[in-house]
């Protein structure tokens, strides 16, 4: 069974998924970051593929992506770093990145490499849903991979129903139409949006991302979905601390998660 499916069958609430940019701050720390996240009790990890034009990302992840590219990170290098990852890391793993490097690698080859190293799914924010249905879905299913789609406050109910009916794993509920980045709290409009999606009774579980950085935003996410995705705050902490383990410890303190 796909590990993403297994996670959501086992737990429906309080899930924490953490994003980091591969190759940042050090070029070869991917395994160390993943092991630190697992040891720290994180439920799932999203490994960012650095790209030179990360249009949906805020300044923290943009800077991390630029540094990772300067460090020599590429998809081929990343797959090399991940080839033995399942010897030590059991939690679900996704690759998250933009369509350009994936298509340069070749979508079939990308899916095959993902399956070979034990990746469970992918998030490609700029993959149009129509292109996913026409060109990508069959290939991803053949390799046992989940393609996670994003929805925003501007996504119509009709499109949300379409995504819910033709994907599985989970739906990435973007907290706002802005770029990624930490927020102190979600305003009434964001909370109303979360509640509106909850009332739709979707088939897929949901994780809320963009802006999760402290206890208030984490609690709001887990109260309105199956859990939260943290990105910019963890990437920031990776750049400020001496080790991935220290960054995970500080993140849990920021979110006020025990254990």
Burial of 10 (0-12, 13-18, 19+ CB in 10 A): exposed
CA gyration radius, the chain: 17
Contact (CB, 8 A) for 94 and 68: no
The three-class DSSP label of residue 171 is strand
Q: Which residues pair with 93 in a beta bridge?
A: 45
How crowded is the C-beta side of 65, counted as CA atoms within 13 Å? 23
Contact (CB, 8 A) for 168 and 202: no
Distance CA 146, CA 126 (A): 16
Contact (CB, 8 A) for 45 and 20: yes
Catalytic residue set = 46, 57
Largest CA distance in the chain: 47
């Amino acid at each position: 069974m796909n590990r993403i499916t297994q996670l959501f069958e086992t737990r429906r609430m309080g899930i924490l998924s953490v994003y980091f940019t591969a190759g940042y701050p050090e070029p070869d720390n991917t395994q160390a970051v993943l092991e630190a996240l697992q040891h720290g009790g994180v439920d799932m990890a999203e490994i960012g593929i650095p790209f030179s034009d990360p249009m949906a990302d805020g300044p923290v992840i943009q800077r991390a992506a630029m540094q990772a590219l300067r460090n020599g990170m590429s998809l081929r290098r990343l797959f090399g770093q991940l080839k033995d990852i399942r010897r030590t890391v059991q939690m679900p793993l996704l690759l998250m990145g933009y369509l350009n490097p994936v298509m340069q690698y070749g979508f079939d080859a990308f899916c095959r490499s993902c399956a070979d190293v034990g990746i469970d799914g992918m998030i490609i924010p700029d993959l149009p849903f129509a292109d996913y249905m026409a060109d990508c879905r069959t290939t991803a299913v053949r390799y046992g991979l989940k393609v996670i789609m994003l929805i925003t406050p501007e996504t119509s109910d009709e499109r949300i129903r379409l995504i819910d009916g033709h994907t599985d794993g989970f739906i990435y509920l973007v907290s706002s139409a802005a770029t990624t980045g930490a927020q102190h709290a979600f305003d009434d409009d964001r909370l109303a949006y979360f509640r509106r999606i909850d009332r739709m009774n979707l088939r897929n579980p949901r994780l809320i991302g963009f802006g999760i950085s402290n206890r208030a935003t984490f609690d709001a996410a887990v109260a309105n979905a199956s859990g939260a995705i943290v990105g910019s705050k963890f990437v920031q902490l990776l750049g400020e601390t001496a080790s991935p383990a220290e960054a995970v410890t500080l993140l849990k303190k920021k979110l006020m998660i025990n254990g």
